[in-house]
Structure 1
């Protein structure tokens, strides 16, 4: 029987293997991004090409052009509706036929594994300096398991419609002092998101990887503690969910039900 395995590479970069299909989320394969430096875990190196790359939105730490270019092979690039022009402009016209744009409620299928776009509460613009913008989305992957990759998001009412799930990959941190006011989840809100989606397993992501250069001792609790804080909150609000706090490069395998 098919199993589902997930490997966390840091930030929002996850390899998800389900039913013989390998997906890579929001690849960030670099040691530095603008003023942010990788402070934990090695820079990921991918030996095998994924079948598809899931890109949740245009922010540079999620749609990192050099990292997408460095992904081996020629995987599908599944992205929010409106992002294809940005991809072609920055990755070259040759990627156009590999781009699959989805809006919430739309889906595509890869060798029997369904990838469905779902809402996210987050700004979809590339940045204040850019005219490029597209929707911000999350994904529900349906194969042997039902997995939610949230991308970047704040809480939203429709979260309750996503469950029940087998695995939830939930962002729980960031580096800015105004984290929650800019469409992000902190550990407590991440646990509330988990309560809403009703998942059997959860893995916290989007924390403990990047930190501003020169700020190594500033708000370190926001860097190193969100994963365990999320697990503590989740133990109270979703006691039936098993939370696994992964180290960089560590994997979790979900066995099929007996």
Structure 2
């Protein structure tokens, strides 16, 4: 398996001849947020068999990026998201949607994908009434992957997500505060321990930041990746952690 981190929560998972793209943000800006590290992802980032959307927040379901995705790719989205996509992007996109809720399974190419719980606000917000469950995804392949989306710790995490070979886990955010429903580096390490992953890839940090906020709490921008690696070594030193920069890839063996 090969996994590429394009920044924020956007990754390409290539396994057994199938390509999955998670929470694609393929532009240099999201509303008041701008990409502060690395260029926008290469055009190849949009080439995939399916997109996995974890929840409806604009930095995860980024409607502007959907036209940059392969036109025949399925869109696996939280229940209720197809209506939002239809409203903003039209039937050409909503007709490709596969709506899921926790426990639902869908097969994409050679991979079996299970939607699992994420403890996070699933509403579109702030000026939309669209809502649905926030999700993570477990990808059954060789090896297996837990893409956490945005989540906080919850009691059933180990049973739903683990055990797993690779955890793709959020360790930060996009601004000078981290609200409820998120993991900081220490809590992210605990999440990886709970799901029994043998390898971890920190994401959702060091990419986007509000315009004009460059020097406000810079310790929350780049450092969370390395802080997660340190916390992981304290919680379970057997877990291999790869801290990538946007555009880099790593290989994961079964």
Asked if Structure 1 and Structure 2 have the same fold, meaning a TM-score greater than 0.5 normalized by the shorter chain, the answer is yes
Structure 1 gap ranges (5+): none
Q: Which residue number corresponds to residue 110 of structure 1?
A: 108
Q: Secondary structure in 1 aligned to 2:228?
A: helix
Contact 1:49 1:74 in 2 (8 A): no
Q: Which residue number corresponds to residue 9 of structure 1?
A: 6
Q: Secondary structure in 2 aligned to 1:14?
A: strand
Asked if residue 169 in structure 1 is aligned to residue 168 in structure 2, the reply is yes
Contact 1:83 1:134 in 2 (8 A): yes
Q: Secondary structure in 1 aligned to 2:3?
A: strand
CA deviation map 1:80-134 (0-9, x unaligned): 1111111111121122331101110111001231011000001011112111111
Task: Please point out which of 86, 89, 95 is paired with 1:88.
Answer: 86
Total equivalences in the alignment: 252
Kindly report which structure 2 residues correspond to 1:1-258, keeping only aligned pairs within 5 A, or say none.
Answer: 4-47=1-44, 49-161=47-159, 162-179=161-178, 181-256=179-254
More displaced, 132-141 or 83-92?
83-92
In 1, the alpha carbon distance for the partners of 2:166 and 2:48 equals: 20
Runs of 4+ in 1 over 4 A off after TM superposition: none
Q: Normalising by the residue count of structure 2, what TM-score does the alignment of the two structures yield?
A: 0.96
- In the TM superposition, what is the alpha-carbon distance from 1:178 to its structure 2 partner? 4.1
In 2, the alpha carbon distance for the partners of 1:242 and 1:156 equals: 23
**Cα RMSD between the aligned structures?**
1.2
Distance of aligned partners of 1:175 and 1:110 in 2 relative to their CA distance in 1, 3 Å threshold: closer
Structure 2 gap ranges (5+): none
Contact 2:142 2:253 in 1 (8 A): no
Distance of aligned partners of 1:224 and 1:178 in 2 relative to their CA distance in 1, 3 Å threshold: closer
In 2, the alpha carbon distance for the partners of 1:74 and 1:34 equals: 27
More displaced, 96-105 or 114-123?
96-105
